[in-house]
């Protein structure tokens, strides 16, 4: 059986794509009877308020009909922003050379937090250089990863 996250992706990805956008990521949180669905969308020309409004309106309608979440929920739609979260190996590969901040679900080589240069991917691992040490971090261990913005 598919997880709630996977079911929501399956349901909402076509909605996002129908507006010429890419579903960059989806986060689902549930606390008690209140849930939050957060969609990050991307567009080749950048994401504007109009994109967010259109996707939000249509996604909300689809969720009302399909009813994938029991109880109340909040739907949020936004661009990934300058501190763009990374979810998939393909996204990590796309941002090779950028500085990233990664937090793991459990310790790997004695630590959970890594901030350094993303050097690529190898099989199912993300390669990052931190303080002249290269780490191969299994994608399945990554809890959260973001691009570190340059100003």
pLDDT of residue 8: 95
pLDDT of residue 135: 95
Lowest mean pLDDT among 6-15, 29-38, 116-125: 29-38
Is the confidence at residue 1, as pLDDT, over 70? no
Q: What is the pTM of this model?
A: 0.87
Q: Residue range 13-24: average pLDDT?
A: 96
Residue with tokens 């109880």: 71
CA 105 to chain centre: 15
The CATH classification number of 4-78 equals: 3.30.300.70
Is the confidence at residue 32, as pLDDT, over 90? no
- Fold entry, domain 89-147: SH3 type barrels. (2.30.30)
pLDDT of residue 3: 86
Q: Residue range 70-81: average pLDDT?
A: 92
SS (H, E, C) 37-48: EEEEEECCCCCC
Domain assignments of the chain as residue spans, ordered by start = 4-78, 89-147
The strand pairing partners of 23, in sequence order, are: 41
pLDDT of residue 33: 83
């Amino acid at each position: 059986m598919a997880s709630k996250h996977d079911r929501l992706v399956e349901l909402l990805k076509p909605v996002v794509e129908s507006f010429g956008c890419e579903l960059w990521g989806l986060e689902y949180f549930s606390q008690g009877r209140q849930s939050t669905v957060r969609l990050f969308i991307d567009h080749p020309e950048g994401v504007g308020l109009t994109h967010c409004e259109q996707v939000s309106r249509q996604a909300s309608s689809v969720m009302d009909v399909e009813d994938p979440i029991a109880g109340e929920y909040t739907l949020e739609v936004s661009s990934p922003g300058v501190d763009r979260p990374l979810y998939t190996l393909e996204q990590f590969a796309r941002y090779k050379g950028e500085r990233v901040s990664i937090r793991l679900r459990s310790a790997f080589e004695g630590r959970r937090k890594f901030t350094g240069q993303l050097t690529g991917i190898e099989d199912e691992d993300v390669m990052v250089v931190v303080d002249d040490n290269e780490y191969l971090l299994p994608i399945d261990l990554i809890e959260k990863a973001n691009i570190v913005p340059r100003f």
